[in-house]
A and B are shown apart, each in its own frame.
Chain A
Amino acid sequence: MKLLIHKYINMKKIIAQKEIDVNEEGYLLDFGQWNREVGKELAAEKDITLTDRHWEVIEYLQEKQRNEEPLSIRGIKKSGVIDIKEFYSLFPGGPLKVSTLIAGIPKPKSCI
């Protein structure tokens, strides 16, 4: 995966009774270690209780990541899955940053 070209500090963290490798910002380093329970616990750390709408967005983000398509707020607008207003209300405090963390995928590098 693309993220491995960046030098990350590899840290271990116990999430949902599993030992997970994360970077210094808490992003998973290996998507293979992610499952829904891990996602739920990462969300809880951000005071978010995941609803069906959250899961739809998370699945969309993971699919984008699988296809190696870069994520951006403009992409969210065009996604047909969610609009920007709802995206901000589902994932407060920086929606792309927070949602990718929960989804177990790297933090987007784009400035837009």
Chain B
Amino acid sequence: MGETKVKKMLFILSKGTIENAYAAFVMANGARMEGIEAEIFFTFFGLEAVQKKKLEHLHVATVGNPAMHIPTMLGGLPGVEAFATKMMKKEMEKLDMPPIGEFLEILSDSGCKLWGCKLAVDMFHLEREDFIDELDGIITIGDFYARADQEGTHLLFI
């Protein structure tokens, strides 16, 4: 196997569902573990993943998600989303996947930069203290593009 040409991964997490947050986190952590730089820009509903009061309450989307293999009407019933989320968390724990809060600590300790999107922060009327301490700052998308400062940088929207 040759050396990877990927040197830096920039992720934009725009969704607040648990499966999308994990997708971003697993890929960012996987990059760091391979010696690749990684940064995540949290925007719109993705901001929920870095808000102290919300991050442990992310849910899996049961409505409008054909891969759930349950009728959409059923997915909207009270408790279904919570149940599906509980099941998913149980399965993830079996695989030794850390919960969202612990995962963010791991990412931060691993040198993965975590950024809040200024526009979305303003739109949701959020303040710095609403976010986890590990957040490296609140920046614009322009600032984030400027982080793509070397050959082999890739940007991924989730």
Residue in B35, B95, B106 whose beta carbon sits within 8 Å of that of A73 in the complex: B106
Contact digits for A1-37, partner B, Cβ 8 Å, 1 yes 0 no: 0000000000000000000000011000000000000
Query: Which of A25, A73, A110, A111 is close to B110, meaning CB atoms less than 8 Å apart?
Result: A73
* B109 contacts A74, C-beta separation under 8 Å: no
Q: Is there a chain B Cβ closer than 8 Å to A85's Cβ?
A: yes
- Could you say which residues of chain A place their CB within 8 Å of the CB of B30? 111-112
* Cβ distance B113 to chain A, nearest Cβ, rounded Å: 14
Q: Which chain A residues border B35 with CB–CB below 8 Å? A: 92-94, 97-98
Question: Chain A 62-99 against B: per-residue CB contact (8 Å), 1 yes, 0 no?
Answer: 00000000101111010000011100100011111110
Contact A83 B26 (CB under 8 A): no
* Complex alpha-carbon distance, A99 and B72, angstroms: 48
Name A's B-contacting residues (CB within 8 A).
24-25, 70, 72-75, 77, 83-85, 88, 92-98, 110-112
Q: Are A84 and B110 in contact (CB under 8 A)?
A: yes
Count of interface residues, chain B, beta-carbon cutoff 8 Å: 18
Minimum CB–CB distance for A47 against chain B, Å: 13
A112 touches B96 (CB 8 A): yes
Q: Does B29 contact A (CB under 8 A)?
A: yes
Q: B106 near A84 (CB under 8 angstroms)?
A: yes
Contact of B34 with A by CB under 8 A: yes
Known: A96-B33, A112-B96. 20 other contacts (CB 8 A): A25-B1, A70-B96, A72-B96, A73-B106, A73-B110, A74-B96, A74-B98, A74-B102, A74-B106, A75-B96, A83-B109, A84-B109, A88-B109, A94-B33, A97-B34, A98-B35, A110-B96, A111-B30, A112-B95, A112-B97
Q: Mark B28-62, 1 if CB is under 8 A from A, else 0.
A: 01101111000000000000000000000000000
Determine whether the beta carbon of A88 is less than 8 Å from that of B106. no
Query: Which of A24, A73, A85, A92 has the most C-beta atoms of chain B within 10 angstroms of its own C-beta?
Result: A73
Asked if B71 is at the interface (CB within 8 A of a chain A CB), the reply is: no
Chain B residue nearest in CB terms to A83: B109
Interface residue from B26, B29, B98, B109 paired with A85 (Cβ < 8 Å): B109
How many angstroms between the C-alpha atoms of A25 and B34 in the bound complex? 13
The 5 nearest A-B residue pairs measured at CB:
A84-B109, A94-B35, A93-B35, A85-B109, A94-B34
Q: Which residues of A contact B97 (CB under 8 A)?
A: 112
